[in-house]
Every structure is written in C-alpha cells, then in structure tokens.
Amino acid sequence: MGLLAPHAATAAAPLITGAATYELTLDADSAAAGRMLGLTGTMTAVITQACETYRPEVDLAAELEGPGRGTLPMRIKSVHV
C-alpha cells in the first residue's frame, strides 16, 4: 500500500470589504391571513478591515404591519469585534 502525497494547503479567498443595502418587503400573497399584513425596511451589511482583522456589521430597520394594530418598528444592529 502506497502513501498518499500531501496536498498543498489552500488559502481561503480573502473577504471583500464594502457595503450592501437590501430593500425588504412582504408580498401580500405570502402573508398569512389575520397575522402579518406587511413588512417594509432595509438591511445594510458592511465589512471593514483593520490590519488582519475583518469587522462585520449588520443593521436592520423595518416596520411590521399587523391587523388593526398599526405598525411595530423593529431595529436590530449586530457588530462583531
């Protein structure tokens, strides 16, 4: 039985820094009857680099619309350090 030749280590592809913003909506046909009527908002994802460290940050701002109760604001911010 022969020995297997070692494989060269492959480096992961480097992350690309920058930002992306997504528009959020809820299709009226997919909303469950009597539950959520609508959703609007944005989600922004940013990746920055300082020296050898990448820092992801996600910000979600949305409004949820329910039956007869108006809208409920939702804000979520996630930062990894």
**Does any domain span residue 36?**
yes
Average pLDDT over residues 51-68: 87
Give the residue numbers spanning the domain of 51: 18-79
With a CB cutoff of 8 Å and minimum separation 6, the contacts of 31 are 37, 38
Domain tally, the chain: 1
Nearest residue to 17 (alpha-carbon basis) of 43, 70, 53:
53
pTM: 0.63
**Does any domain span residue 28?**
yes
State how far the Cα of 37 lies from the Cα of 55, in Å rounded to an integer: 35
CATH of the domain at 63: 2.20.130
Report pLDDT digits (tens) over 11-46: 566 667 788 898 988 776 665 555 777 888 999 999
**Contact present, 61 and 45 (Cβ < 8 Å):** no
Q: How far is CA 49 from CA 14, 15, 77, 78, in A?
A: 11, 9, 19, 16
